[in-house]
Amino acid sequence: MAVEKRVNSTLIIPSSIEKIFEVDKHIACAVSGLVADARTLIERARTEAAHHWFVYNEKMTIEDVTKAVSNLALAFGDDDMESGAMSRPFGVALLFAGVDERGPQLYHMDPSGTYIRYEAKAIGSGSEGAQQALQEIYHKNMTLHEGCKHALSILKQVMEEKLDSTNVELESVIWYALLMSIDISSMYHPSKMTCLVVEG
């Protein structure tokens, strides 16, 4: 996952802008839109994943986490305020990425709560051009390094600002780590990202 962090002022500390969140050890979520709305949905995803682990002693699938969040998004306007429903639709699109027993998974959920599984997906203001570029370069045998280079290259094309390590965030979800019971939500260190930016 690669996201642009828009820094609208020189007074903003770029590291304080979050666009990729850890839901569980095996699931990450990228957001585009109202970050306050995203935090509400991410909190629901975390709660559902933790509850599933506590009750069933197993990790929740990426689709089930997405479905739980989708149910909350679809419930806007309901009279039952205890369910956490809002009086308006959420103004955020989400990308849930992770690895479960079905392998690597990527789900896109739009503000209406509709979700679809993808191989690769772009969201946000430059998503049309980015999605077109993804369709041209994506293949199933792509390595993590290639994926990161292509993601940064696409961001470079669609971003208004010059791409650097302070306004881009990368996160990888690594397949083999699940088999080895390793925490797979590993943030790219800015020094590694700078190296990729220079290469791209």
Q: What is the mean pLDDT of the segment spanning 165-187? A: 59
What pLDDT does 182 receive? 41
CA distances from 48 to 31, 51, 54, 132, 198 (A): 18, 5, 10, 34, 40
* pLDDT above 80 (res 119): yes
pTM, 2 dp: 0.83
What pLDDT does 82 receive? 55
> Whole-number mean pLDDT of the chain?
83
Give the position of tokens 């739009």: 110
- For 56-111, how does the pLDDT look when each residue is reduced to its tens digit (9 = 90+)? 999 999 999 999 999 999 887 665 555 555 678 899 999 999 988 888 899 999 99
196 φ, ψ (degrees, to nearest 5): -65, -35
What pLDDT does 174 receive? 63
Nearest to 91 by CA among 74, 111, 76: 111
* pLDDT above 50 (res 185): no
CA distances from 136 to 2, 130, 150 (A): 17, 10, 11
Identify the CATH number of the domain defined by range 2-8+18-199: 3.60.20.10
